Amino acid sequence: MVVAERKPIKEILEMMAGYKKILLVGCKGCVTVCCAGGTKEVGILASALRIARKKDGNPIEIVEYTLERQCDPEYIEQVSSIVEGDGVEAILSMACSVGPQYMAKRYAVPVYPALNTTFIGGSLEHGVWAEFCQACGNCVIHHFGGICPVSRCSKSLFNGPCGGSAGGKCEISKEVDCAWHLIYERMKALGRLDDMAKIFPIKDWSTSRDGGPRKVVREDMRL
């Protein structure tokens, strides 16, 4: 899932400083799962903004709404009556960065991001998420025991550890596992240590962001 976290309240207040009425819109997708932008978080942020603005003698009216997703045009349409007919001066989006971009494309009002999009990852424990994928466009984890060296090795190395790890931890921090230690242990458990002798060529990054904005087209699904 896409993992995001809310911007500091001070930064959000600065973005909303000139507005009297806004639409605060959440997303029931990834940011709900990582507790950053679901219905609950929309309510919490709305309350915090109202309290802060009232304290400053500059109250703000906030319309709260949570969409099923903000990355699909059909869901964006659900707030059209609010944005276009309810005097909303700006939209504050609690979605990954795709959400506010879709909102900005559709509506003729200023759109602001309430979240910082951080990475593609998963849950380690309740309230803790970690990066597992950089969306490089050419998945190779089957060569490495199901562990991604691109995202989980601090140096994105393809051919073994750098030599700076110790005790299974990366040299950048004792809190970070050495991905190649994990790969070794996994390959050993699978009886595939001989595969680690293979030399992989320099990665072709043309499938990643370095090739420009990417697009996936499924002709069998197009209308």
Looking at the structure, tell me whether residues 111 and 153 fall in a common domain: no
CA nearest 94: which of 194, 33, 6, 177? 6
**SS3 label, residue 10:** helix
Going 150 to 153 to 157 to 160, the CA torsion angle's sign is negative
What pLDDT digit, counting tens, does each position of 11-40 carry?
999 999 999 999 999 999 999 999 999 999
Looking at the structure, tell me whether residues 112 and 39 fall in a common domain: yes
Looking at the structure, tell me whether residues 64 and 169 fall in a common domain: no
Distance (Å) of CA 97 to CA 4, 40, 65, 92, 134: 9, 19, 17, 12, 16
Looking at the structure, tell me whether residues 28 and 95 fall in a common domain: yes
Q: Using pLDDT thresholds of 50, 70 and 90, give the confidence band for residue 149.
A: very high
CA nearest 62: which of 70, 53, 73? 53
Q: Any alpha helices (H) in 107-193, and if so which ranges? A: 149-152, 179-189
- Could you tell me which residues come within 8 angstroms of residue 192 by beta carbon, excluding any fewer than 6 positions away? 145
Q: Is the pLDDT of residue 210 over 80?
A: no
What pLDDT digit, counting tens, does each position of 32-44 carry?
999 999 999 999 9
CA nearest 192: which of 122, 157, 142? 142
Dist. CA 38–CA 44, nearest whole Å:
10
Classify residue 58: in a domain, yes or no: yes
Q: Using pLDDT thresholds of 50, 70 and 90, give the confidence band for residue 202.
A: confident
Looking at the structure, tell me whether residues 108 and 20 fall in a common domain: yes
Q: Using pLDDT thresholds of 50, 70 and 90, give the confidence band for residue 168.
A: very high
Query: What's the mean pLDDT when you consider all of the chain?
Result: 95
Q: Using pLDDT thresholds of 50, 70 and 90, give the confidence band for residue 66.
A: very high
Dist. CA 137–CA 154, nearest whole Å:
19
Classify residue 18: in a domain, yes or no: yes
Report which residue type is found at 26: G
Looking at the structure, tell me whether residues 33 and 87 fall in a common domain: yes
| CATH number of the structural domain spanning residue 108 | 3.40.50.10660
Looking at the structure, tell me whether residues 83 and 23 fall in a common domain: yes
Dist. CA 123–CA 3, nearest whole Å:
10
Last residue of a domain, one of 50, 83, 118: 118
* Strands of 111-113's sheet in order across: 61-67, 21-27, 90-94, 111-113
pLDDT at residue 215, as a whole number? 86
pLDDT at residue 208, as a whole number? 87
CB atoms within 10 A of CB 25: 28
Classify residue 211: in a domain, yes or no: no
Q: Is the pLDDT of residue 211 over 80?
A: no
Query: Rounded to two decimals, what is the model's pTM?
Result: 0.90
Number of domains forming the structure of the chain: 2
CB-count exposure of residue 179 (10 Å: 0-12, 13-18, 19+): buried
Classify residue 214: in a domain, yes or no: no
| Residue-number span of the structural domain to which 180 is assigned | 134-206
Q: Using pLDDT thresholds of 50, 70 and 90, give the confidence band for residue 133.
A: very high
Classify residue 217: in a domain, yes or no: no
Phi, psi (degrees; rounded to nearest 5) at 182 = -65, -40
